[in-house]
Structure 1
Amino acid sequence: MMRKLDLIVIGSGVSGHSTASAARERGWTVAVIDDKPFGGTCPQWGCDPKKVLVEAVKIQDSFERMKGYGLTGNAQLEWSELRRHKDTFTEPIPSATVEEFEKDGIEVFKGHARFIDDHTVEVNGEKLQASYFLIASGASPAKLPVDGFKHLASSDSFFELDELPHELVLIGGGYISFEFAHIAARFNRKVTIIHRGERPLEGFDESIASRLAEYSKKLGIDIRTNTELKAVAKQGSKFIATIGSDNHTEQLSADIVIHGAGRAPNVQDLGLDRTSIAYSKNGVKVDKNQQSISAPHIYAAGDCADDGKLPLTPLAGEAGKRVIKHMLDGKQQEEFSHIQPSAVYTLPGIASAGMTATEAEKYPDDYEVIEHDLSSFFTNKTTRLEEGFSKIILDKKKQTIVGAHVYAAQAEHLINVFLLAIEMNIHVQALKTLLWAYPTAESDIPSMLQ
């Protein structure tokens, strides 16, 4: 007899985990299915391990700038030791997640789920039915139309490298490639970024991104724009990446070619064509409740949901909360209206929230763009960092901040302050007169607003 549960969750990341646990607390029968190590991308191959690596590299980067100014000796980066340090964060995640589920009475299935019909999935040859489903299957590197695609290493695999290769080619000019490039460059590796567009980091303010790109070049990172990857071939222990721009074709030798050119939602191999679940290239189509627009008992959240949110962990967490409130409590959710911040963890980093300068400049009577070179600010001078820039967008009538874009050593911290100001409609004068703890990066904010 086929077993029937109240809820089946496909995926064990932040939104899947929280929903499964909340449903089980209500006494629902719940199963979680995942074909990857349990725990999701963020804590294993995403935000968390990246931050562990970046923080160590940041220390070494500051040390190098301060040599001869109070610091002597060498701060040598060692990949294998740093990798082991990173592993102390990531390795416990799968077993701890499974143990938590099992302790709570949630059934765990390690395998790939496929729908047979609207209420039935098959995993490891077993068929399961449920009253409700949450699809939280995440995303994977997008398929690229290049010969030898199989030779591309996934961005996830960067975190599992036993040794950091000496020559790296990174495909795509987004935040993944730039973060990896900045880490590898501090290990004195040869790094090349291949980007098909006119400029890298296209989702960020152009002048902010261009400053980061120029500084990246000073670090020795070779950035090729308007250039496409044509093919990848294995040649002995090396890989040959064939790239093309205009009518020019070139071959690059590398120890590894990493796919950083975007990710696609994991919905193509779930058997959704056997169901009434509507989906697109952006994922399962859902409404403001994260509920399928075509199958009311189906929900989707995170990177596999076509909901207009950025593929970021906090947004997946927000989506999971919406699922819980609607699925379990029957509460209609308001339209999503939060400002979505985004950060690139390079050294220095860039971060953005709210209205862009390009948008503001279309309405000069309504908005003011305040720009500042931060390189001479005290925060920068303390560690001899000669890079930094800010663009703050001000609503002239309301005197509130509606957008912020920063390039700074502590960009990810500064953007959170500006995000709070935008969300809470804080009057700019309050930020100027607040008694900030001094000297801090945050105490520079009044100067950024002058």
Structure 2
Amino acid sequence: MAYDYDVIFIGSGHAAWHGAEDLVKAGKKVAIVEQELAGGTCTNYGCNAKFILDTPFEFLDDLNRYEQADIATVGTISWEKLMAYKKKIISTYAPLLEKKFEQSEITLLKGKGKLADAHTVVVNNQKYTSDYVVIGTGQHPNKLKISGSEFTHDSREFLDLDSLPKRITFIGAGIISMEFASIVIKEGIEVNIVEFADRALLAYPEKMVSAVVDKMTQEGVKFHFNQAVSKIVKENGSFKLITAQGLEIETDYIVDATGRSANTANLGLEDVGVKYNKNGIEVNDHLQTNVSNIFASGDVIDKSIPRLTPTATFESNYVASVILGNTKPITYPAIPNLVFTFPRIAQVGVSVKEATNQPDKYKIVEVPFGGPINFENKLEATAHFTFIVNKKDKTLTGAALLGNEAGEMINLVTIIIDKKLTFQDLNKMIFAFPATTDGLITALKTALA
């Protein structure tokens, strides 16, 4: 049977367009379906916006340490001007991607895509047939099922605030809340974080998280752990957040950051028989669904590995390779992840918790990076490395880093883990000094020796 396309991607984010480009380069006819802006969440409503807003505050945080050392004077940041700049920059990305698709000869079908059968996608009541279909629809923010939930906002809305309210309350102490709170507390507003668990950032090392929480607390953030939000009441133009434990917080703006769920609704999955659950679409080790010509990629997949933009890109490229003939199951490399708090927390590979539970297999090496050569870590007294070393072959298998330079350093660490570089390998290399990464390498060589 002759199909309209070789491959149709539903969704235009990183889980789709990278693989689409690989396919068109190989001579395939490809279409991408998108109901909103080309590029999806990360490009238009998430990662890029957060990075633009975060960067000036990183400089501010660094400069603050030099002010405390009586070396510099801290300046101020205009949120209004910064937001205007963010909107100006972000507004260019979707048109650029559309042009990129056109130049690559990828057809962009604007509208909601829904499966009619295994080889047919309906967009705006028009049917398009394809040999393969790839679902890369990502996730959406959750909403607490409580009275007054309509008064809450999600991350996308927060990242579009023209001006900051005087009081912001975050529900949940996960990545989104911690990152946003780290920024806005520097603007002098009142910030509360309400969390059901007994601590923040459960997936990250407790000692490092505690260091971040302590710093945020000193800056003025109020943390409320072991609290279940029960309702939100609007009162005289502001809001009152109430928990089951009796906590009441008066606030002007509430961000519900209690998690995200896969975008599986209204895709026609049930009609075609594609299996999925509350965590996402079920796939095998080739990212195929139970309907063999339909694949899934990115955050919409039911998976345990980190849902990150680079992971979605990796999966998109992998799916393209399978369609082009690759028969090998997907094998993920070490996946670094980073929390954009001040200081940053980064981790990759075997976690501190895993290593602690397997002392016969792993050696944990703690390195207090803050202090010895203070200029090299930009006066970050709390900067810290935790290395996980395989006792058998003395290679690095995991790491957790605390410090504002952690984001750049974790990428170097990831290469060392993936390539299984040893002390001898590192000793044959020369690195720039006094770059921050030189201190990382010196500490790492000591750990691996």
TM superposition score normalised by structure 1:
0.92
Moved more, 136-145 or 383-392: 383-392
What's the secondary structure of 2:196's corresponding residue? coil
Q: Which residue does 2:265 correspond to in 1?
A: 268
**Cα drift, residue 106 of structure 1:** 3.2
Q: Which residue does 2:308 correspond to in 1?
A: 312
Any conservation in 1 of the 2:9–2:136 contact (CA below 8 Å)? yes
Moved more, 436-445 or 235-244: 235-244
**Cα drift, residue 432 of structure 1:** 6.1
C-alpha distance 250-409 of structure 1, shift in aligned 2 (>3 A): same
Aligned mates of 1:382, 1:200 — CA distance in 2: 25
Q: Which residue does 2:370 correspond to in 1?
A: 375
Q: Which residue does 1:19 correspond to in 2?
A: 19
What's the secondary structure of 1:15's corresponding residue? coil
Any conservation in 2 of the 1:379–1:440 contact (CA below 8 Å)? no
C-alpha distance 333-89 of structure 1, shift in aligned 2 (>3 A): farther
TM superposition score normalised by structure 2:
0.92
Aligned mates of 1:252, 1:396 — CA distance in 2: 50
Any conservation in 1 of the 2:9–2:134 contact (CA below 8 Å)? yes
Q: Which residue does 1:253 correspond to in 2?
A: 250
**Cα drift, residue 137 of structure 1:** 0.6
C-alpha distance 377-181 of structure 1, shift in aligned 2 (>3 A): farther
Aligned mates of 1:274, 1:112 — CA distance in 2: 16
Aligned mates of 1:189, 1:381 — CA distance in 2: 32
Any conservation in 2 of the 1:379–1:441 contact (CA below 8 Å)? no
**Cα drift, residue 379 of structure 1:** 4.4
Q: Which residue does 2:340 correspond to in 1?
A: 345
Moved more, 349-358 or 65-74: 65-74
What's the secondary structure of 1:234's corresponding residue? strand
Moved over 4 A (4+): 68-74, 379-382
**Cα drift, residue 143 of structure 1:** 3.7
Any conservation in 1 of the 2:376–2:434 contact (CA below 8 Å)? no
Confirm or deny that 1:295 pairs with 2:291: yes
C-alpha distance 233-5 of structure 1, shift in aligned 2 (>3 A): farther
Q: Which residue does 2:178 correspond to in 1?
A: 178
Aligned residues: 444
Aligned mates of 2:158, 2:422 — CA distance in 1: 44
Any conservation in 1 of the 2:143–2:258 contact (CA below 8 Å)? no
Confirm or deny that 1:336 pairs with 2:337: no
C-alpha distance 435-24 of structure 1, shift in aligned 2 (>3 A): closer
Any conservation in 1 of the 2:380–2:403 contact (CA below 8 Å)? no
Moved more, 344-353 or 259-268: 259-268
% of aligned pairs identical?
27
> Which residues in structure 2 correspond to 1:33-432 (within 5 Å)?
33-67=33-67, 72-244=72-244, 248-292=245-289, 294-327=290-323, 329-379=324-374, 383-431=378-426
Any conservation in 1 of the 2:387–2:396 contact (CA below 8 Å)? yes
Q: Which letter maps to 1:366?
A: K
**Cα drift, residue 221 of structure 1:** 1.1
What's the secondary structure of 1:418's corresponding residue? helix
What's the secondary structure of 1:14's corresponding residue? coil
Aligned mates of 1:104, 1:303 — CA distance in 2: 25
C-alpha distance 73-388 of structure 1, shift in aligned 2 (>3 A): closer
What's the secondary structure of 2:183's corresponding residue? helix
Aligned mates of 1:339, 1:82 — CA distance in 2: 34
C-alpha distance 227-269 of structure 1, shift in aligned 2 (>3 A): farther
Aligned mates of 1:326, 1:208 — CA distance in 2: 40
**Which whole-Å deviations, capped at 9, do the CAs of 1:309-338 have from their partners, x for residues lacking one?**
3110110111011111011x1111334241
Q: Which letter maps to 1:53?
A: L
Confirm or deny that 1:437 pairs with 2:423: no
Aligned mates of 2:16, 2:302 — CA distance in 1: 16
Q: Which letter maps to 1:176?
A: I
Moved more, 50-59 or 343-352: 50-59
**Which whole-Å deviations, capped at 9, do the CAs of 1:338-364 have from their partners, x for residues lacking one?**
111111111110100111222223333
**Cα drift, residue 185 of structure 1:** 0.9
Q: Which letter maps to 1:339?
A: A
Q: Which letter maps to 2:10?
A: I
